[in-house]
């Protein structure tokens, strides 16, 4: 019951009825045939793994944006305190580094999945 309410957040829509993913990538994207999920070959399993990776990348990117906001709030509320400014800069530096890694991972996964498909 709880999963049914969180499927938009977690992108775990198990139906093939949606044509556009409103909340990010879906678990069964590119695996639907005649309105039902069809996993019949190794390539379908690879597509499923790629979809799981894309969901994780999407969630980590969203989390990165949240941490940019948190780092900005820390920076604004530091009131000139060098310790808090340093903490805010560390948060922002780590988030930007993480987002660059996420972007590179997304590019690699997209390149590999396009090569398989």
Instruction: Say if CB 66 and CB 98 are below 8 A apart.
Output: no
pLDDT band at residue 90 using 50, 70 and 90 as cut-offs: very high
Residue 113 has a CB neighbour count (10 Å cut-off) of 17
Q: What is the pLDDT of residues 40-84, one digit of tens each?
A: 667 677 777 777 887 888 888 889 999 999 999 999 999 889 999
Query: Residue 36 has what pLDDT?
Result: 59
Query: Residue 75 has what pLDDT?
Result: 92
Predicted model pTM? 0.62
Instruction: Provide φ and ψ at 56, rounded to 5°.
Output: -65, -40
């Amino acid at each position: 019951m709880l999963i049914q309410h969180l499927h938009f957040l977690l992108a775990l829509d198990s139906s093939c009825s949606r044509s556009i993913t409103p909340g990010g990538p879906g678990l069964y994207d590119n695996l639907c045939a005649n309105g039902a999920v069809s996993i019949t070959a190794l390539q379908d399993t690879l597509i499923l793994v790629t979809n799981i990776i894309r969901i994780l990348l999407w969630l980590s990117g969203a989390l990165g944006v949240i941490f940019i906001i948190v780092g900005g709030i820390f920076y604004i509320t530091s009131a000139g305190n060098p310790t808090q400014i340093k903490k805010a800069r560390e948060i922002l530096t780590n988030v930007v580094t993480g987002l660059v890694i996420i972007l590179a991972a997304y590019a690699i996964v997209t390149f590999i999945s396009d090569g398989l498909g």
